Structure 1
Amino acid sequence: FSVTYVGRIEAHPTSITFGPDSLLYIAVQEGTIYTMNANGNAGTYAGGFISPTGIAFRPGTGQLYVSSRVVDENIGGESQVSIVGQGQLIGGLPCCYTSFHAANGIAFGPDGFGYVGVGARADHGEILFGEHAGEQDELHPLEASILRFNPDTGEVNVYARGLRNPYDIAWDANNQLWATDNAPDYGPNEELHRIVPGGEHGYPWYDCDVCFSPPPGVTVLQPTWMFTPHSSPTGITAYLGDQFPGYYNSLFLTFWSSFVGAQKVVRMTPGGGSATNFATGFAAPIDVTVSPDGSLYVADWATGIIFRISYTG
């Protein structure tokens, strides 16, 4: 394999995807969505967003769906899903614990519906301020979840719960949905989840001195895989290309943080059975996607650089 420099955006990328025109689309924290061709030439596609975190094209269309923020506040924040050129589709989504949790990665499922990961409003379900700070808070009905939405009407329902900050989601070749999840601040392992429709995947019930126990009758699903604490798994994609021999339906994950165990791309074998380091040496890789020719593209949040990983034989 070879890793090559494609181009650079003078901003902080948060999400990347390829469009029907074979251009790479790059959302940046500063609020703009750029395009970039294979030679690294960039142009502005859309702007005016507040911290966009997820972008995805609706299959068979040129419609780009974007998750971003409406009110970027730790308490009382709000995030949304919108369509470029058409405006808000879904509003009132939870946001923005420690400036990180919001509506995140978007993916379209085999059923034609859209799916979006939404982070929690707290670290482990606690009240953040006031005389009852630290006590268990009432959960917002849409927080810490994967939402399924009608891409025409914006009608939303909860597909799965219990994900503290599912930064990105991806469907594999077996129509299985996967999600990366960032663990609580007290330092347990980070997680990869095989999403079970209707399942409770953990939040806010953790094993710590100040955490809360699940109510009777609730079965908490265990993660498929766990990673080094504070390594911050962010982007995820299923490899459905044909350039990498023997890698079909593998999962590729980026690890964003500055802690030990991050700054890399990890390959998971199909079904999440094992994990190996695939590419290292990045500053803060935040998202990964597959190009039309089967190359892997990686966006680095810290440097704004877009890298291409190709098979060389």
Structure 2
Amino acid sequence: MRASKLAALLLVFFPWYPAQAAPNLDRIGLPPGFAIGIFAQGLDRPRAVAFAPNGDLFVTEIGAGRVSVLPDRDGNGKADRRVTFAGKLSDPHGLAFYRGYLYVGETGKVARYPYKSGQLEGRNRQVVVNNLPSGGGHFTRTVAFGPDDKMYVSIGSTCNVCVERDKRRATVMQFNADGTGGRIYASGLRNAVGLRFDSAGRLWATSNGRDWLGDDTPPDELHILEDGMSAGWPFCHAGKYKDPEPKYAALGSCEQVKRPLWGFQAHSAPLGVSEYTGNQFPPEYRGDLFVAFHGSWNRSRPTGYKVVRAEIENGKVTRLSDFATGWLRPDREVAGRPVDVLAGPDGSLFVTDDGEGVIYRIRYTGQ
């Protein structure tokens, strides 16, 4: 038997995880009746996830510059193996399936791959947007498709606070699905990493606020984006905090910007956001949002490092509560950094962690 065939068989019949210590799940706090397990580990800084039409989980591994497929064909709640769908990518982050294609957001471009159900290898790559601003302080690009058949791409700022030379920075842009017709849809968003539509067609976005104004100012932001809106950066933060530097404050007024629906604890770093549409959790969770907090890096007392639940009524946040905690230990040591959060076809909640290289699966057991 040739070595390549033997290797393929080993991938199918034996665990594929690289040798490493499994994260301690006992530290993760959840509401009563919920349980957490490891869906996949040994990943290289996993970021965004998307489910293919057949239920396979796709993930970007920004550390390895690749998109991986993690099929669970036996349905045991753990990935059977990791398969590289596309490699040699430039800081891949956003993923979206749309009308027979998988779209991938890289730092300076958006590419797409024709996709058929069950496909494990990307072929015939097409770059549909090739001139996005690249690099800079905020270099990830999130991709989402709306009920209007348009593609939305988030582009973070190059800096903490500045006047951008490229007006596409600190925005969410709108494109046709083939990459044409690009225009600025929403502006003044310092770093809108979380970007997803809900079942009502609303485009939710998280945005990370300005640094170096103190431990608690300004709040990080949760928005429903609207065409033509400005969230205020760099002159106004969280809809009400005028920038203290006169050269930025002079650029506009807080009265002219759209305020966020909710202000999170400053420096929590909210990233992935998604509506819970499954049926596996108790019915009161349906229609609420989950938000992954990546966690602070410059606060005197660390904050974030958790997944929160935002209860939603008529497009408004009525209550915010912790859902999954424990990645920030009592001694303030960090034991993981949640990035994206998304319900799977079975209703379980999947959470990526680019600190531990893990994807978690949270389900309701009632016990």
Q: So what's the TM-score if we normalise by structure 1?
A: 0.87
For this pair of structures, how many residues does the alignment match? Answer: 289
Runs of 4+ in 1 over 3 A off after TM superposition: 213-218
1:72-221 pair list within 5 angstroms: 79-84=108-113, 85-98=124-137, 101-124=138-161, 126=162, 137-187=163-213, 188-206=218-236, 207-210=242-245, 211-215=248-252, 219-221=256-258
- Aligned partner of 1:253 in structure 2 is 291
Name the structure with the higher strand share. Answer: 1
Percent identity over the alignment is: 34
What's the RMSD between the two structures over aligned residues?
Answer: 1.8
- Aligned partner of 2:6 in structure 1 is none
- Aligned partner of 2:22 in structure 1 is none
Unaligned runs of 5+ in 1: 70-78, 127-136
Q: Is residue 286 from structure 1 mapped to residue 339 from structure 2 by the alignment?
A: yes
Partner of 2:200, secondary structure, is coil
The whole-number CA distance in structure 1 between the counterparts of 2:143 and 2:180 is 13
CA contact (8 A) 2:157 2:190 kept: yes
Partner of 2:85, secondary structure, is strand
Name the structure with the higher helix share. Answer: 2
- Aligned partner of 1:310 in structure 2 is 363
One-letter code of the match for 2:66? Answer: T
Report the CA distance between 1:48 and its aligned residue: 1.1
- Aligned partner of 1:57 in structure 2 is 97
Q: Is residue 44 from structure 1 mapped to residue 44 from structure 2 by the alignment?
A: no
Post-superposition CA distance 1:96-155 (Å, at most 9, x none): 333xx135221110111111111112222x2xxxxxxxxxx3542311111111112432
- Aligned partner of 2:52 in structure 1 is 19
Partner of 1:102, secondary structure, is coil
Unaligned runs of 5+ in 2: 1-33, 73-77, 114-123, 237-241, 328-335
- Aligned partner of 2:21 in structure 1 is none
**Larger CA deviation: 197-206 vs 295-304:** 197-206
Report the CA distance between 1:21 and its aligned residue: 2.2
Partner of 2:221, secondary structure, is strand
The whole-number CA distance in structure 2 between the counterparts of 1:200 and 1:148 is 15
Q: So what's the TM-score if we normalise by structure 2?
A: 0.75
Larger Rg: 2
Report the CA distance between 1:12 and its aligned residue: 0.5
